[in-house]
Amino acid sequence: MNYVDLTFKIEKGMPYFKGDPKPEILQFKSIEKDGYNIKEIHIGTHTGTHIDAPAHFIKGGKTIDSYDPLYFTGFGTALEYEPGKLDLNGKRYDFVFLYTGYNRDWENKGIFENFTYIDKDDAIKLRDSKIKFVGIDSPSAEASGLYDFPTHHTLLGAGIPIIENLNSRELEKLLGKVFFAMAIPIPIGDGDGAPARVIAMEV
């Protein structure tokens, strides 16, 4: 079966938000010294390709560990996106992945700046389309500097989780196509979000 992996690898030196925990992967035990390998991982819940649960912004909102593992599955499409210009063409999907191209140069990002986001009016369109979840190849669905977080409140407040940091180079291959996708988050207890593996399969 052919598939597209939309997930960025979790590794030392990967891009992250300024103010978030700096990603670190340390060799905690080694075969040479201890007879076996163990790595120590230090990341935030919103590092790399991850899912925002409602609890990220909504008091009392659903946590990532409370979702059925198969919730983040279904049939959807990938659309080329600019803020304020979303057109769903009246079609219904389980999810929509928005391609902006922001993460094409992932290896050189460092700290995220000047990233594309989901416009509030477009978030309302997505909410009203009754999708289960939405994804974007950007580190955040929110425009930088908006501290009332209208997009997150619109989507998460309606119970629509957001997948962020999809791999632009892989997502581009799916533009305009209908495909099956699954995103499996780590079930972090009381989690506001979690890294996830996101796989798409053309149908």
Q: How confident is the model over 4-8, as a mean pLDDT?
A: 98
Q: Considering its fold, how many domains does the chain have in total?
A: 1
pLDDT tens string 151-171: 999 999 999 999 999 999 999
User: How many residues appear in the chain?
Assistant: 203
Q: How confident is the model over 78-102, as a mean pLDDT?
A: 95
pLDDT tens string 118-156: 999 999 999 999 999 999 999 999 998 888 999 999 999
Name the percent of the chain lying above pLDDT 90.
88
Instruction: Give CA 65 to chain center in angstroms.
Output: 16
Give the pLDDT score at 118.
Answer: 97
Give the three-class secondary structure for 145.
coil
Domain containing 28 — which CATH number?
3.50.30.50
Spell out the residues 6+ positions from residue 181 whose beta carbon is closer than 8 angstroms to its own: 6, 73, 74, 75, 76, 95, 97, 198, 199, 200, 201
Task: Name the residue range of residue 122's domain.
Answer: 4-202
